[in-house]
Amino acid sequence: MFSKVSVSVAVLALVCNAAFAVIPTCPPDFKLQYQDFSIGSINLVGLVGAGGEATSTNETLILNNQTDCKLCSSATQGATVAFLQSGTVIGQCGGAWDVMQEAIVGGEQIQLIGDGCASKMEMQGLSIGLGQMVTKIDGSGVATGSHTLASVMNQTAANSAGTMAESSVVLAGQLSSVSGGPSTSGQATSTLTVGTTQTQLDL
């Protein structure tokens, strides 16, 4: 006689589920500042015939300032620009005189500053284009044209990682003049181009 024994083995499977919690971190808080300016100016002065005088002047003053301050960072930038364009003709005893002037000026500033120890960047640039032509044909007299421009630009940025600063000072001028007596002619032409750029990047 055979005896049959059945053995049941219970297998317990233990499955462990691991849960991972992703804790979001706050990205660095960046601040952006941007400002620009532009000047476009044309000046024409003329005189024909008997004695007389003609004068024309263009003037501009620009003051740009920006400031952003937080607990862990600060940024400041400013630009001051003074511009003068002037033409004068004084004639006697017939003849013709004229002054032609043109100016194109543009500038910009940008700052990108991160709080704490994050990166920071500064950039500023200025471009100047000045041109004038002074002409005298016959007659007695004088014709004069002048341009004067002064620009001061500053930037400062600071956070926990340090401080950066940059500045630019530009002085530009033109003076053209023609004079003489009867039966004389003359012409003076001048052009001036100036460009400056500054960039700082702290990673």
State pLDDT tens for residues 16-66. 334 343 444 445 678 888 999 999 999 999 988 877 899 999 999 999 999
**Cα 35 from Cα 184, distance rounded (Å):** 49
3-class DSSP state of 132? strand
Indicate whether this model's pTM tops 0.85.
no
Sort residue 160 into left (φ over 0), alpha (ψ -120 to 50) or beta: alpha
* 165-200 confidence digits (pLDDT tens): 999 999 999 999 999 888 888 999 999 999 999 998
